[in-house]
Structure 1
């Protein structure tokens, strides 16, 4: 049960920014086929993913494709409901102190890990300490955070400073997933060596470049809360859950049409109308994130703001989005760093610097920067059509402005690894998922590839997270976004994109939830 204290304090203090967030979210953000029943479970559910993750360890990768798989294995203390509110998952109830600096998590009892061990506070303590020590965002925003064990089923979190949406942060990000203490103690430099969690599916097998196989966890301990977004009751309605890595878009499309795959992600935009009219296919679209041109600000050409400004001035965002997405249902031009549906945070400050498409002015800025034809390396991948298409059109736009541009193509997993080496790239094309508040955006993280590091940004982020009211926080965010567009440019924002997901008509209960990972494979079955 959720304690009254949790309802009155946590929701009142931590969730105020969600009161008017995502207008119509309950209707639009969780899309599904039909409601599943558990009386006909079993068999296999075969999912075609667009790329292969480099790991399933939530702390070792922020890739969405990793989260799609890992969220079935791992669970956290809190998760998001359909209104994007933090809701207890492995916690049964949560209490907050009057000063907002102490949170007490009362754990659910009888929750088993996939290795048969019961989850207790010592596992939560080990997991949360690992998160506090290794998560780039935890290190950036929660310096001095500590965790302690009160008893076998109680963990206390203490903050150095009040952070009004700490539970939102923990719920949205899965890098604070709970694992057995012994798994964490035996981890290597590349992460944990065993994928053991408390989720409805357990890790079974990984055939490199082919598939990841999960299997039903027979001893899964369900939450007493009703199913709601990513929270509440979860039930594995298939025996085996396969994630196939199918990098070719046409192959994914054909696999859906023939029934080789039950669910396919990132279907080709050019086939959108055809898919909608096919009676054997259920077509879902979901706005998942934004296309961004990320700059390496740590070293090289784009450590100079003038060079970043030149690129941003040359970018014709509308041309890029129209060339990539033939149907207006599938993209939005948007100067805001935050999704425009998140009304408590959305601002358009700095919009005059967005979508300029002015190669002549860009040439002038290049001259001011002293650019002398040096080669500019752009990292891209063919695993995502939007990524490659953006790179090609960007290359044309930058060359028109007088820049010497080379595109280097990698598989998505390799690109993610290469991003961490500032010596091998200048620009990287990214499509990060939406964040529900500014401090969570990776583009503003000084430790994330791109290396955004500026005292004014740090100061304004601190003011945002410690503001007494949402109005004050939003005012600080408006000031920060203006600064980002006009004086810093950590990225050049292109636009918001939708993902096309298709299922065969035999799939029941599958839902798309607009959050990281966000595809709900539990409570989903395949009829005969």
Structure 2
């Protein structure tokens, strides 16, 4: 689970005080960043870069930065379809057990070393090594061997067909590294990628400086560089944009986004991350399907969006991957918000549950919890809010030490990868998922055995219907990924997976 939202620290009405904070956080000489047409593009966000090793990166700010420094073999487009990255083409054998990749020509790492297939072998062998503690290692369990028959060709052998491996090769955790850096053990100290920008410097807790890679195989960036500025409060980011202190700002708080009008441009993309009420089906009475379905049926998701995030969200079902357009409720036995139907499922019983809620993790958590508490009280389900700081929440969540847990979970373009880690056979997050569901596991196994690069609409629709019918969780809504910019910044957008790779082609007039 990737938690990447923060608390709203003060009301927007304190604009004057916020402006003072911006001034204090802005280094001398950079107060008019948004009014300049030269120098690095200044992007404000609340988070810092916390490491340089792609294999172990989890924090969204770190992944967002490393995506600009490193490249992966494959990428996904706006609809979640696979497109070339460092591999210009690839093919899958008829039996689905061999993946062959043909590399782009003339690519070099930032230190000048040439990219060859040996880098693919070294990188993936390192990711597969348990000692690396890679966050994507479990996604490559089907890989038995990686070879380089020639400098421009990499071959991956699989123990069984697994189309999800291709999608794993789009993730930052599999970004291709220089074998010399791996051998020297310097990945934590230096970021030497093949990406459109080079790491020029960083000041912990303050900023990260990137310079353009003029030799980038995809075309040199039009910007001379990017400076990520760490500003702890999003109200301060918005005020700084209006004051011209920043060229752009990443906004995650829906209450701040709702205020972002006049003088700045807003680019929104529906996020693959999703808010959910996770039900621990290994505890009574949630081990009973009608009880889980009653809770799922009682909750009006639109009401949660309107009251908790100022309408800045989209009601969702389990599948948030781009390219799939499914009914968010097809599979439930009743219409969400139908209290009478939910009461009938409960059979007149009352239920007392504790709801684990994160404090300080993302801005809307408490508002969501209070709304859910009020809605479920109408059918005889009493929710007691158990609010915990992030470190305590994560420990308890990972051990399934809860009746129900309000969560913000990261999504993926592959529906299989998205949920196999929770409900598949041998899932790494099976305990936190709170339910062993044979029907869901069976469908995930079938999806995982597919050799198709994109699962069919019918397969994904069946998976979603079954998940809603089993109701291990209540899927609520997705946020929007938002980047606000000065009017003179062109072409800067943010993707469903929170990437700012558009910085490669963005311009500033």
CA distance in 1, matches of 2:336, 2:96: 41
Hey, what does 1:181 align to over in structure 2? 179
Task: Tell me, yes or no, if the aligned pair for 1:253 and 1:267 is still in contact at 8 Å.
Answer: no
CA distance in 1, matches of 2:463, 2:392: 32
Hey, what does 1:377 align to over in structure 2? 356
Task: Tell me, yes or no, if the aligned pair for 1:335 and 1:354 is still in contact at 8 Å.
Answer: no
User: In the alignment, which of 107, 112, 115 is matched to residue 119 of structure 1?
Assistant: 115
Q: After the TM superposition, which residues 105-184 of structure 1 pair with which residues of structure 2 at under 5 Å, given as runs?
A: 105-133=101-129, 139-140=138-139, 142-164=141-163, 166-171=165-170, 173-184=171-182
Structure 1 stretch 357-366 or stretch 97-106: which is displaced more? 357-366
Aligned length: 463
Hey, what does 2:29 align to over in structure 1? none
CA distance in 1, matches of 2:122, 2:55: 13
Hey, what does 1:318 align to over in structure 2? 302
Aligned in 2, Cα 1:162/1:233: closer, same or farther, shift over 3 Å?
farther
Hey, what does 1:466 align to over in structure 2? 449
CA distance in 2, matches of 1:433, 1:147: 27
Structure 1 stretch 302-311 or stretch 82-91: which is displaced more? 302-311
Deviation at 1:436, TM superposition (A): 4.5
Hey, what does 1:435 align to over in structure 2? 413
User: In the alignment, which of 233, 244, 251 is matched to residue 219 of structure 2?
Assistant: 233
CA distance in 2, matches of 1:194, 1:398: 51
CA distance in 2, matches of 1:195, 1:406: 41
For structure 1, the residue ranges without an aligned partner over 5 or more in a row are 1-39, 224-231
User: In the alignment, which of 205, 216, 222 is matched to residue 216 of structure 2?
Assistant: 222
Aligned in 2, Cα 1:429/1:56: closer, same or farther, shift over 3 Å?
farther
Task: Tell me, yes or no, if the aligned pair for 1:266 and 1:500 is still in contact at 8 Å.
Answer: yes
CA distance in 2, matches of 1:468, 1:122: 25
Q: After the TM superposition, which residues 279-318 of structure 1 pair with which residues of structure 2 at under 5 Å, given as runs?
A: 280-295=263-278, 297=280, 304=287, 311-318=295-302
Aligned in 2, Cα 1:354/1:207: closer, same or farther, shift over 3 Å?
farther
Aligned in 2, Cα 1:431/1:475: closer, same or farther, shift over 3 Å?
same
Task: Tell me, yes or no, if the aligned pair for 1:379 and 1:425 is still in contact at 8 Å.
Answer: no
Structure 1 stretch 425-434 or stretch 156-165: which is displaced more? 425-434
Task: Tell me, yes or no, if the aligned pair for 2:128 and 2:140 is still in contact at 8 Å.
Answer: no
* Residues 88-122 of structure 1: CA deviation (Å, up to 9, x unaligned): 22123324333332222222344222344333222
Hey, what does 1:213 align to over in structure 2? 208
* Residues 488-510 of structure 1: CA deviation (Å, up to 9, x unaligned): x3431002332332101232332
Report the 3-state secondary structure (helix = DSSP H, G, I; strand = E; otherwise coil) of the residue aligned with 1:72.
helix
CA distance in 1, matches of 2:185, 2:344: 50
* Residues 252-289 of structure 1: CA deviation (Å, up to 9, x unaligned): 2111111222111226545667644x2x3112221113
Aligned in 2, Cα 1:403/1:414: closer, same or farther, shift over 3 Å?
closer
Hey, what does 2:505 align to over in structure 1? 523
Task: Tell me, yes or no, if the aligned pair for 2:74 and 2:83 is still in contact at 8 Å.
Answer: yes
* Residues 359-412 of structure 1: CA deviation (Å, up to 9, x unaligned): 9957985997x96x5744322435x333443234334445662232212243xx
User: In the alignment, which of 101, 104, 108 is matched to residue 97 of structure 2?
Assistant: 101
CA distance in 1, matches of 2:455, 2:200: 48
Q: After the TM superposition, which residues 12-31 of structure 1 pair with which residues of structure 2 at under 5 Å, given as runs?
A: none
Structure 1 stretch 475-484 or stretch 259-268: which is displaced more? 475-484
Structure 1 stretch 463-472 or stretch 424-433: which is displaced more? 463-472
Task: Tell me, yes or no, if the aligned pair for 1:79 and 1:88 is still in contact at 8 Å.
Answer: yes
Aligned in 2, Cα 1:82/1:455: closer, same or farther, shift over 3 Å?
closer
Deviation at 1:192, TM superposition (A): 4.3
Task: Tell me, yes or no, if the aligned pair for 2:58 and 2:135 is still in contact at 8 Å.
Answer: no
Deviation at 1:475, TM superposition (A): 4.1
Aligned in 2, Cα 1:509/1:480: closer, same or farther, shift over 3 Å?
closer
Aligned in 2, Cα 1:520/1:473: closer, same or farther, shift over 3 Å?
closer
Aligned in 2, Cα 1:296/1:359: closer, same or farther, shift over 3 Å?
same
* Residues 450-475 of structure 1: CA deviation (Å, up to 9, x unaligned): 24644433321121233478999544
CA distance in 2, matches of 1:468, 1:424: 38
For structure 2, the residue ranges without an aligned partner over 5 or more in a row are 1-35
Task: Tell me, yes or no, if the aligned pair for 1:318 and 1:355 is still in contact at 8 Å.
Answer: no
* Residues 124-180 of structure 1: CA deviation (Å, up to 9, x unaligned): 112112334455665357524421121333211122222346434423x22211112
Aligned in 2, Cα 1:349/1:298: closer, same or farther, shift over 3 Å?
closer
Aligned in 2, Cα 1:422/1:83: closer, same or farther, shift over 3 Å?
closer
CA distance in 2, matches of 1:108, 1:340: 27
CA distance in 1, matches of 2:127, 2:466: 31
Does 2:230 match 1:244? Answer: yes
Report the 3-state secondary structure (helix = DSSP H, G, I; strand = E; otherwise coil) of the residue aligned with 1:320.
helix
Aligned in 2, Cα 1:333/1:106: closer, same or farther, shift over 3 Å?
closer
